Amino acid sequence: MNQLELVNALDAWGLQRKHPSIRMLARRFDIVQRDQARFTQWRVRFSHLIDCRELPEDLAAPAECLLMPERGLVAIPSDGHRRASQCSGGRLHAAFERFDQAWALSDPGFPAHVLGL
């Protein structure tokens, strides 16, 4: 799926939602903003559906990247490489726990609109 197809799919999905459904957690979002222009524009259009947070440098990032349609999209962009695996049961529950702990200790990031003076 290319970037345009992804954004079109997100548009169709986003038009059906009314409350935040996507949580993105990353160390930095500058790479997304630089390399994913269509997604960045989509993020502005559907800012009411997506909540982005940045991990402090001193906080270890969860190792997993989670994509769960029934719980919204939970994403952790990897600094080094991409990997995929499937997990369920206790392992999946532990992954969500690690994500939620990191989320609670992170700061708002990747604002949809930047206010100027």
Q: Average the pLDDT over 50-60 and give the result.
A: 89
Is residue 23 in some structural domain? Answer: yes
Q: What token pair was written down for 35?
A: 């390399």
Task: Report phi then psi at 26, rounded to 5.
Answer: -150, 160
The CA distance from 32 to 84, in Å, is 19
What's the structural domain count of the chain?
A: 1
pLDDT in tens, 3-43: 788 888 888 888 887 766 788 888 888 888 899 889 899 89
Is residue 113 in some structural domain? Answer: no
For residue 10, what pLDDT is reported?
Answer: 83
Is residue 22 in some structural domain? Answer: yes
Please list the alpha-helical segments (H only) found in the chain.
3-14, 30-35, 37-45, 89-105
Residue 102's domain comprises: 3-108
Task: Identify the residue whose tokens are 């259009």.
Answer: 45
Is residue 115 in some structural domain? Answer: no
Is residue 42 in some structural domain? Answer: yes
Task: Report phi then psi at 41, rounded to 5.
Answer: -65, -40
Is residue 89 in some structural domain? Answer: yes
Is residue 72 in some structural domain? Answer: yes
